[in-house]
Structure formats: structure tokens, C-alpha cells
Structure 1
Amino acid sequence: MENTKTSSHIVVTSIPIFSHQCSVIEFCKRLIHINKHFHVTCIFPTIDAPIPSTLKLLESLPSSIKCIFLPPIKKQNLPQDVTLQLEHAVSQSMPSFRKSLTSLSSTSTTPLVALIVDPFANQALEIAKDFNLLSFLYFPVSAMTTSLHLYLPTLHQQISCQYKDHPELIRIPGCMPIHGQDFPPTFFHDRSSIAYEIILQQTNRFSLADGVIVNSFFEIEANMVPAWRSNIQFIYQVGPIIQNISNNSSCSLSSSRESNESANIVKWLENKKQDSILYVSFGSRATLSQQQINELALGLELSGQKFLWVLREPSNFAKIGHHSDTNDSDPLKYLPHGFLERTKEQGLVVALWAPQTQILNHSSTGGFLTHCGWNSTLESIVAGVPMITWPLFGEQRMNSILLTEELKVGLKVKFNENGVAERDEIAKVIKDLMVGEERSGILKRIQVLKDGASGALAEDGSSTRALYQLGTQMESNGRK
């Protein structure tokens, strides 16, 4: 299924976080694959400079996708709080964004018809109206998290106490009921915070959009569209949108170094039995405390299961934003004394980065211990790899609930009263996933989701049809 009508021009904007930019770039590639007559220009705000990983990703773009980086906002002039930092950077970039849009509208040889906006850059929705563009929110997260954001103005009126203190399960349209304590803590755990005020202001602005695009697919989250149909006319589930194997990179390592490390990792996997390796990675935006690194290392060793662990230097807080991998620190020095020697036949520890989609799609990989970032979650589902969920920040608790309680394709790590997962608990959940009685059922369910993901992206699949319908709606604005 493809649309080959008269050319139209789409503008896309995001926020200066790699995971958001990566997701929307991959979405654009998928959009023009289905709607071949489209041209896309991405306009990205920057803090200090463009993100190196984004620049690397842009190297492989087709000619019909261009990217403009707005004049950088100096980090030293922004608040230290990351939420405020992003909000201020995007707000301060809006005059430049308007100027770029004005320039595009006067110079483009194809008519501008639509603007696609990250939820955290939704100030651009007001600008879209001035240019008579259709506007859409692109959520690079689950339908469950999307629904929470869409429902927040109503929730704000319905519940007066802190969400985390609400004694009953909270019902969000199209989702299984969850506790308020599992809402994204940065924005939702303190209703008196500036972060909550910001997210509430943003969600109140969502009504300006003509539609919602979600990086999920019908086969894993079927209830969102029916639940919201009476409130939002156009909802498009277009996922799974993930990086393909050849483009899999989330760091700023040099190409030659990256290629060498990737080849060494794949070679190591080649010699392992099918489904025998537990892949351990917490993404590009978070680190563990020194205490937690010690417990995880000893838990991996105690489990007796083979592992491949991507390790970063320790921190006592989760780092939100682009994590630089260009420093000279060697994370392996933070491992317990003697660990590498004792486990040299059991596992492999690599510093900072690994080719994640290649690893997940390798026949030797049988499990994924993950922070439950949505990109990683989708990559694991597409590869058919069961998960151990270890949420750290953002919407990851909600993703963990979706995976372990609704879809039942993963097991949860339990934390003690100090928020630390202890070695015995880690060893137990690893063994349960890799060789336990529950593994058979989890494998069957993840295979169903893998087939569903493949089907959604097929020529007549649900997500392909959604992208075609989205293209038709946007293209219709060019005929007005």
C-alpha cells in the first residue's frame, strides 16, 4: 500500500532529546515510504549544539527528508532542572521556529500542508494555525502513556489529592487501571511542582491539534482508539517505529570504533547456544548507583546464566537527556573486585554502548533486562525477546505494568525499602525468566506480539493503513 499523489510538504519538530528525535526521524522515514510524494523538513531546537547521535542518524536519510537545526540556546542560560531546561529551550526557540517556517513556506516548491509536533514542543501548535497547517501530536511512547497525557485535564479535576497518595486504582480511558504511584514521577508525584504545572499547561494545549499519532500498534494496545474516538476524531497508531539494524546507534562513538566493538560483540554471541544470553542494558539516558551496580553484578554471577551487560559509570541519580559517551572514564573499574575474572566464561561486559537491535535479533539472545524505555520495549517485542523490567524514570513504570501485568511478556524486579534490587532477588528473577517454569508461556505470548508487530507493518497491516490514512488527511489540506 502506498500513496503516490501530487507532492506535499510536511514539517516536523521535536525536543533536544535523542530518543524523541530518533523516534520521529524513523517515523518520517516510514511516512514517506508509504506516501512517496511527501517531502519532510525536520526543524529541531538545540541546546548548545545538535546532538551527535542525531547528526549520525541524519547521515542515512533519504533525499526527501531534510533537517534544520535552530540557533542553539545556551545551556548556561537555562535552569539546571532538566524539565525546566527543556521547556525554556523549546519556548525560546519558537521565534526561530516561526522564522524557519516562514522561510520554508515562501521557498518550498511543494505546498506546506501539515505540522507534526512532539507533545513537549506543543507551543508550535499555535504557530501551525497561523500558517493554515493541519497539526498533529506525535507521541513516541505507548498508547497507555499517551492516554494519561490526554486525560490529565480531566484527572486534574476529578482527583484532589496527590496521585501517588490516591488509595484506589485510577482508570484512564483505554488502559488497565493503575495506581497513581506508578505515574511518571517527574511530572505527576508532586502536584505543587513546576513540572506538574508545565505538563498540565501542555495537555490543555493539546486540543489545538487536529489529530494524534502514537508509536504503538493495534495488536498490543487495541483499546486506545475506541476509548478516545468520541473526543479525538483522528488517532493514528503507526508503530512499531524503531531504528533498523543497520542504523542502530545511540552514542557518539566514532564509526570505526563502533564498527569494531559491534563486530567483537556479534562474534562473541556467535559461539553461544540459542536463547542462552541475557542482554542487560539501561539505555542511553540512565545510570545506576555504585551500590546497585555491585548488587547487579553479583546477582548476574549468582544466577549462573550467561549475560551481555552494557555498563555505564555509576551515578546516584538518573540522567535525563543526552548522555555523552565521549568521556575517557572506564566504567568497568566500578565493578566488584574480581568480578570480571570470575565471570569471564559466563558473561561479557562492554562499556557504554552496544548494537542493541543486532543483539536482540541474534539467535543467542534469550532475554532482555531493560529499563523499559519505549524504544527498547518495542525493539524487544519486534525481536520476540522476553523481558525483565527494571523501570528507572519517566513513564517506565507504566511500561513495566503493561509488559508484566497486561501483556504478560516479562517479569518484574522487586526493590527493597531503599529502592535497591538486591543480588538474591536479581538472581532469582533472571533464573525465572531464562530457565524457569514461566518461560514457556512468556515465549508463546511474546511470539504472538512479534507476529502482530510484523503484521502491523505489512502492506495491508493496521499501522500501514493508518499511515496511508494520515497521509491522505494531510494531503487533503493542500487541495484547499
Structure 2
Amino acid sequence: MPFTIEAAQQLGLSVVMFLTISAYESCFTREYLDTVIDWIPGMNIRIRDLPSFSRITDPNDHMFNFTLDSAEVASKASGIIFHTFDALEVQVLDAISAMFPNLFTIGPLQLLLYQCLRWLDSKLPNSVIYVNFGIAIVVKKQQFIEVAMGLANSNHPFLWIIRPDLVTGGEEVLNHPSIGGFLTHSGWGSTIENLSAGVPMICWPFEGDQMTNCRYTYKERGIGMEINGDEDGIRNVIQKSVRELLEGEKGKQMRNKASEWKKLVVEAAAPDGPSSKNLVKLVNESLLPKEHIPAKI
């Protein structure tokens, strides 16, 4: 929230910005919006993969201007936290660090949490599809039916987190050995949590940065599939994708790749890993008064 920067400065307080989007998402600031897409430092992306609020034509759009304001005041913050880790977005983080030296990569946060469910314990390894569309996505009734029928027709068990307001979420289960895939809207929180679990994804983005996250998941990291389909045909797409992920050679390759990313995640969040070191550095350099004893993990 950019307004907190000015408030903190007036009160003489340290203030840290915590960005819940990916690092590559944050690159879409004013100086890049009118350039050729492959010129953005650290990125290789198509126009169709841009966040929805970066592709608007109305210069007065609220979300567009909110994003610009956030980027412009970021340099005044005592520190900037990205919910990511160095190995995941190394090129774009290098580019951002040149503009914002007080940047700290601290993630994934959810490694502090783990919960086992009895139902999952009864399933074979890599046999269950996990479905979660996050906290904000709303689908039409027909879309809901299509997803349900596609999952049912795949003949594989699935665990679907359904909010009361999903029609007109949960990630702790991803580490269970029975989970073999994740059908996701590609929100950044869900994406990085899934990387921690080492599970391949079926990506169905709806809005915002989800298109960008989806692109990097299947194209750059090789651990996902992209869903393209309308309301009438999406059930067949989901059915085919679930079977390919859990039964096919492509799914096996994605699981192997996802396991490699999981190792990097664990290394980043270990006590001597870069994310842990960045947390200590953030506290010592940006939050603690100079006369205090430096914090340690």
C-alpha cells in the first residue's frame, strides 16, 4: 500500500513494502510499458501474457495507476520484500536490484506450515489432482459444471477447495505424496507454494498477473500445462490434461522438473539459504536501530 510510505516518513518509522506478486510482475513500471516486450530487462514474454491491468487502454484505470504509484514510491521504503527466492527469478531480480538496492527475496513463506489429511493418506502417490482457484476468482455456473465434469471424467481422485462464493484456498496439502498435480488459476501465492511442493500444474489463468505466472510456469520452468478452452469445451480439455499429467510421459517429465525446483526452494529457505539470510539482512539493515544487537537465525 503506497500511502503507508508517506505516513511512515512523517512519523519517523521504518517501513517495508511486501509485494505478494512475483518479481517479473513488478517489472511493468512506466518506463517499460511502451517498449517492445523482449526489451524488458530479465524478461522474455508475449503481449498476451502481460497482466490484465498492464494491457488496458484507459490511462485513468484505477489498478493501472495504483501499480505505477506503488513502483514510484518503492525507492522510499526502508526495504522491499518479494515473496520469491533468488534461483527462481534470477535475471529479473538482477535487473530490479539495480533500481532498488534495498530489495530482499524471502520465500517461500509456507514452508513453516504442513498438515496431513487422512483422505490423502489413503491414496496412492501422484494419483490425486488438487484444485484451488484462490480467494478472489469467481466462475460462472456453467464453468463450475464443466470443471466438475472434466475432473470426474478423468477417472482420477481430486481434492477441490470450493469457497461459498466461488460461483455468480488449502495449499498445505500440496506436500502430501498422493498429490500428483495442481489445477490452479496461477495466482502467485499458489504458484510459489506449489513450487515448494514439487508438483506440476495445470494452469487456467483468469485475470491480473495470472497470465504472466502461467506463461513462466509452462514455458520457462517446464512444470505446467496451459488450459485454453471455452465454457462448452473446457471439460474435455481438463479431462485430457489431468490424464496426461498423471498418466503420460509429459506428466512424468514435468514431475521430474518440479522435483528439481523443489530442491532449489528447500535450499533457498534453509537456515543458511539466501532467503533466510535476506530476512536477517532486512531486519539488521532496514528495521533495527543501529545501536541494537544484530539479529540472527
List aligned pairs for 1:167-178, cutoff 5 A.
169-178=37-46
112, 127, 130: which is aligned to 1:279? 130
For 1:438, the equivalent position in structure 2 comes to 250
Is the contact between residue 37 and residue 44 of structure 2 (CA under 8 Å) also seen in structure 1? no
> Offset at 1:170?
4.6
Query: Partners in 2 of 1:278 and 1:384 — Cα distance?
Result: 13
> Offset at 1:290?
0.9
- The one-character-per-residue Cα deviations of 1:321-355 (angstroms, maximum 9, x if unpaired) are xxxxxxxxxxxxxxxxxxxxxxxxxxxxxxxx7x4
> Offset at 1:457?
1.2
CA, structure 1 residues 218+201, in 2 after alignment: closer, same or farther (shift >3 Å)?
closer
Is the contact between residue 183 and residue 189 of structure 1 (CA under 8 Å) also seen in structure 2? no
For 1:240, the equivalent position in structure 2 comes to 108
For 1:137, the equivalent position in structure 2 comes to 17
> Offset at 1:475?
4.9
> Offset at 1:393?
2.1
For 1:306, the equivalent position in structure 2 comes to 157
Question: Could you state the TM-score of these two structures normalised by the residue count of structure 2?
Answer: 0.87
Which ranges of structure 2 fall in alignment gaps of 5 or more residues?
A: 293-297
20, 24, 30: which is aligned to 1:153? 30
> Offset at 1:282?
0.9
Is the contact between residue 413 and residue 421 of structure 1 (CA under 8 Å) also seen in structure 2? no
For 1:412, the equivalent position in structure 2 comes to 226
List aligned pairs for 1:384-403, cutoff 5 A.
384-403=198-217
For 2:86, the equivalent position in structure 1 comes to 218
Which ranges of structure 1 fall in alignment gaps of 5 or more residues?
A: 1-120, 160-167, 249-262, 317-352
> Offset at 1:220?
1.1
CA, structure 1 residues 420+176, in 2 after alignment: closer, same or farther (shift >3 Å)?
farther
2:283 maps to 1:471: yes
> Offset at 1:205?
2.5
263, 277, 289: which is aligned to 1:451? 263
SS at match of 2:138: coil
2:62 maps to 1:182: no
Query: Partners in 1 of 2:37 and 2:240 — Cα distance?
Result: 29
CA, structure 1 residues 274+476, in 2 after alignment: closer, same or farther (shift >3 Å)?
closer
List aligned pairs for 1:305-344, cutoff 5 A.
305-312=156-163, 315-316=167-168
Is the contact between residue 278 and residue 366 of structure 1 (CA under 8 Å) also seen in structure 2? yes
CA, structure 1 residues 230+374, in 2 after alignment: closer, same or farther (shift >3 Å)?
closer
Query: Partners in 2 of 1:224 and 1:170 — Cα distance?
Result: 12
Question: Could you state the TM-score of these two structures normalised by the residue count of structure 1?
Answer: 0.56
Report the identity percentage: 28
> Offset at 1:225?
3.1
209, 215, 220: which is aligned to 2:77? 209
Number of residue pairs the alignment of both structures matches: 290
> Does 1 or 2 have the higher relative contact order (CA < 8 Å, sep 6+)?
2
Query: Partners in 1 of 2:208 and 2:232 — Cα distance?
Result: 18
- Quick check: which has more Rg, 1 or 2? 1
> Offset at 1:477?
4.2
Is the contact between residue 242 and residue 375 of structure 1 (CA under 8 Å) also seen in structure 2? no
- After superposition, the CA RMSD in angstroms is 2.5
Higher mean C-alpha displacement, 303-312 vs 459-468? 303-312
List aligned pairs for 1:332-371, cutoff 5 A.
355-357=170-172, 359-371=173-185
